[in-house]
Structure 1
């Protein structure tokens, strides 16, 4: 987040189980992928955006990126909590200090946005006060998505933190929202038929009865990447491709530009590529930049997104049905 808030500690390499599908980097990968990273900003502001992964400080790079090129800004900054990222440890700040830092982040990227741009800001419950304060001063807040985070152990002294938020904002009243592209397919527990026997708002299949529903701001169908999923990395706060795909499909059209200045292990760029969008990501840690580039390579071979099949998002724990329909 802020260099003065971070301390660097040595990291231990985990021992992987035989069936572990976590994406890892070999030394050959690192040597091959390093030349692809952009590191040095140009002498003056660019006029065209590069489709690339930038290794550097996003606040510094903001002064060199083209004006008004971003259709979708996805902000997933470090939350205001104690967390380690590849040896760097960040510590919870006061709400006032975190709000001030987040405001600096947001104001740095506003000149890069198109007038019709959408903005999504990720956070947890403790960051919400800061996010609302900053977002409401610069954008039109449309909604707050809450998604169930099913991983994590419980607490003996507090309620288990099992959700995170994504604040949906726009720069103006002119914005994209493709609601038909983000429908959720759910199992029908009690199917209702009309008088003539016709199913009402659902379809029978050999795998069961399903209904395609419009999305709400409460998401209970997200699976956090884990060791047996092909998209999994060792990034401690990796978002799932399914989650990011919903945001990209709803708020962009094919060929639009998606910008993630806190790229992490590359989920946003990877999903944007799979869905036919242009992408630009910035990440301060080289190892995560290289993971992003490796995932972009893999996306060229396999464009599948877990939980997204037949143009709809499937509710959690319907993997067998998804495979049957591929």
Structure 2
């Protein structure tokens, strides 16, 4: 385990935890039923696992695949390929995912700006593409001869025209800078119950309230492309209901499964790297201790930095309880 500074809350694995969590992982070699795989982590290459999954059992698909960049994931390297080859790689697994979805299912596909252009033509062959969400990631390196890359995309797709979208579950609580009152003196579209003035606004497809996990956040891991719990929570609350099945075939360190559990959904994830699978299992166990999602409180999402949601308790071992 890496030595961490006292304020660093990045989730680590002890050797004891890793040994225990490895025993919980699945590897598929025959057809399965939903009951055999729900609320489990499959440690396997996605192409090896997909043929054994049951058909028509997923309510919500959330996919964060490797972008078309050369990047190392705990010793495994995904290598950049030309646009045609990358699109063919996308097609291989997207075509296998669609039969797993219910007719009323929704699907979200994460991408950077370059991956988006290759992904969209593939998605429109299999789904109805309803929107492209763009979210600001405030982390990232500056560039001397280009604009700093500070955003990513999420494609919102559905299988058919009948699908779940819970708009009231994903409203954003924004601070009102210039409160307006009616002629009778009543607040217009804002709440004056507290010292500060807020209004609930409908969600748009431009998100500027997301914080990318970093060392002082309790959800942080060493996964190089970890998505924020708040980001995934918006997708899950908008496009699923309690006890629905949420599936992530590129699970990474487990964010989709963890948030699904915290929000009362069932989950299944596929990840080929054992250490990331074990991190996912540890985070799932920690969710039993603390189900909070930073930036989401009292049933609403708060704009960035308006709610102090971070806790100061030290990380516990989920094996020993120490």
Separation in structure 1 between the aligned mates of residue 251 and residue 125 of structure 2, nearest angstrom:
24
Deviation string for 1:266-293 (max 9, x for gaps)?
0000000000000000000000000000
Q: How has the CA–CA distance of structure 1 residues 205 and 258 changed in structure 2, closer, same or farther, with 3 Å as cutoff?
A: same
**RMSD of aligned residue pairs (Cα, Å):** 1.4
TM-score (norm 1): 0.92
Give secondary structure in 2 for the equivalent of 1:165.
strand
Work out whether residues 179 and 250 of structure 1, in 8 Å CA contact, stay in contact via their aligned partners in 2: yes
Quote the Cα distance in structure 2 between the aligned partners of 1:273 and 1:35. Answer: 20
> Secondary structure of the residue that 2:110 maps to in structure 1?
strand
Partner of 2:168: 180
User: Helix, strand or coil for the counterpart of 1:229?
Assistant: coil
Distance across 2 between alignment mates of 1:192 and 1:141: 37
- Corresponding position: 1:149 with 2:147: no
> Once superposed, which parts of structure 1, at least 4 consecutive aligned residues long, lie more than 6 Å away?
none
2:288 to 278, 300, 313: 300
Query: Paired residue for 2:30?
Result: 43
Give how far 1:34 is off: 1.1
1:159 match: 147
Structure 2: how far apart are the matches of 1:134 and 1:48? 31
CA deviation vs aligned residue, 1:84-119 (integer Å, no higher than 9, x gap): 111222221111000000011100111100000101
What stretches of structure 2 of length at least 5 have no aligned partner? 312-322
Q: Cα distance, 1:321 vs. partner?
A: 8.2
- Is the contact made by 2:10 and 2:215 (CA closer than 8 Å) also made in structure 1? yes
Q: For this pair of structures, how many residues does the alignment match?
A: 310
Alignment match, 2:51: 63
Q: Please state how far the C-alpha of 1:207 moved relative to its aligned partner.
A: 4.2
Look up the match of 1:7: none
Scaled by the length of structure 2, the TM-score of the pair is 0.93
Q: How many angstroms does 1:16 deviate by? A: 1.9
Residues 248-272 of structure 1, C-alpha deviations (whole Å, 9 max, x = no match) = 0000000000000000000000000
1:264 equivalent to 2:252? Answer yes
1:322 to 1:207, Cα distance in 2 relative to 1, 3 A = farther
Aligned equivalent of 2:20: 32
Among residues 271, 278, 294, which one is paired with 1:290 in the alignment? 278
Give the whole-Å Cα distance in 2 for the aligned partners of 1:28 and 1:270: 21
Unpaired segments of 5 or more residues in structure 1?
Answer: 1-12
Q: Verify the 8 A CA contact 2:179 2:190 in the aligned structure 1.
A: yes
Q: Distance in 2 between matches of 1:229 and 1:114?
A: 35
CA 1:191/1:264 → structure 2, altered by over 3 Å: closer, same or farther?
same
* Structure 1 residues 177 and 139: CA distance shift in structure 2, 3 A: same
Q: For residue 267 of structure 2, what is the aligned residue in structure 1?
A: 279
Q: 1:322 to 1:293 in 2, by over 3 A?
A: closer
